[in-house]
Amino acid sequence: MTKVIIKDELMGTGKSTRMIEEINNSHPDQRYIVVVPFLAEAHRYAGTLSDPDSGDYQTPLRDDRGVVYTGTGCNASGRTFNHPQSGHRSKVEHIERLVERGCDIVTTHAALKLFTPFTREAIKDAGFQLVIDEELECLSQVNLKTLRKNILLDSGSVFVDDMGLLRWSESSRYSPSDDEGDNVDTGLSWEMRIKSMCDNGSLVLVEDEMGGRNLFIWEYPLSFIKAFDKVTVLTYMFEGSLFSKYLETYGLDYEVHKGVQIPDNPFDLINVVDNSKMNKAGSSEFALSASSQRKLTKDSAVSKDVSKNLHNFFNNSTYGKSNMGDRLWTCLKGSKKNFTGRGYTNRHIACNTKAVNDFSDTFQLAYVHNTFMQPEQFKFLKSRGEDFAPDLEKYALSEMLQWIYRSRVRDDKEINLYLPSSRMRGFLEDWMDGKVV
């Protein structure tokens, strides 16, 4: 039976470092697959360097003797973690070869989606452990055009099995080929992508009983998680995550080991702008949510107000003297053009940014967003019953804290924060008061 351990601790407290030490102190015959959000972290775990001539961070640097290992990370104990190489087909095949040979593997969350049923069986036979650094993406909407969705459902190309999963029918009149690539991420035809998900047991149909849109939801196949002897997840605020609901849905037992949850001096570390005039744009419950931001234009009163406040926050020393490199801000990606201004425009990063340490010196932050779960994800979880409805407050708070902790606050250094949404500000203040457990 798979043992699942959740290590729930605040960002910047050394979870990854301790995990590397645990791997280095484990039995030499124990095999690991480590998945991380970004390639830079993959090199940190492996103790490798990226090849500067490759044009990406994925290809490890090599010399005449092979991959260059630095003696750091998991290589400190002599382990030689392997990086699966790019290209959809070649990467799948490379992963399969590495697993079959019993190699330690480090890769990104995105690559974990490429595992096949063959990979799963090889993992089970070899007794691998899985380490997930940051929460695994376990469900997302499959954006398939309505016509194509109807073709699949009406033609009998797919059917629903006893577990509620969509499966590809052997009698389907479609013969998917990978010559019709219409997806820039995989190069596969839409039929081939659907068939691959059906073969993996990762596609769910959520029917709308009120006559609305049916949803195709991709869900990480439980059989892949259960192929590992042990799964260790490094995360924070696990209870508010989609992954917690995923495990609960399938009744998979897990242990939560909690570490530091809030810093000793949160009110000294995070200075939140307390100015009713500057926060007016976010005063209502749904103000600055994704849906409300999509309705804005450059000339909207809210856009003008937010732009003026951002300019004031970043350029007025009243709110902290800072240079361009000290600043960081976010909003819905499509709203960036509406809120831009002098001194901060190019310091924008996505509001769901996690596990990136490139901005660890920043201290002048603006979070112009009101986070809600994607409606498709919420609908999917609710379709399984009220018990599986997510904790929306913890979900929103966790997403925001992940973003805030890209800054120097992770090193217990003071930051200034412009947070106009009254809803998100309330969540943050409750967390700093120790009311969120």
Which domains are present in the chain?
Answer: 3-138+226-258 (3.40.50), 141-219 (no CATH), 266-432 (3.40.50)
Q: Residue 87's pLDDT is what?
A: 57
Q: Residue 330's pLDDT is what?
A: 98
Alpha-carbon dihedral sign for residues 98, 104, 108, 112: positive
Task: Tell the burial category of 140 from Cβ atoms under 10 Å away from its Cβ (0-12, 13-18, 19+).
Answer: middle
Q: How far is CA 226 from CA 19, 65, 165, 243, 339, in A?
A: 21, 37, 17, 14, 46
Nearest to 232 by CA among 25, 36, 402: 36
Helix (H) or strand (E) holding 39: helix 39-46
Rounded Cα distance between 372 and 388, Å, is: 17
- Residues in the chain, pLDDT under 50: 88, 177-187
pLDDT digits (tens, 9 = 90+) for 46-70: 999 998 887 777 789 999 999 999 9
Q: Where are the alpha helices (DSSP H) in 115-211?
A: 117-126, 146-155, 190-200
Q: Residue 179's pLDDT is what?
A: 39
Residue type, 99: V
Q: Residue 389's pLDDT is what?
A: 67
User: What is the value of pTM for the model shown?
Assistant: 0.86
Q: Residue 117's pLDDT is what?
A: 84
pLDDT digits (tens, 9 = 90+) for 126-146: 899 999 998 777 888 887 776
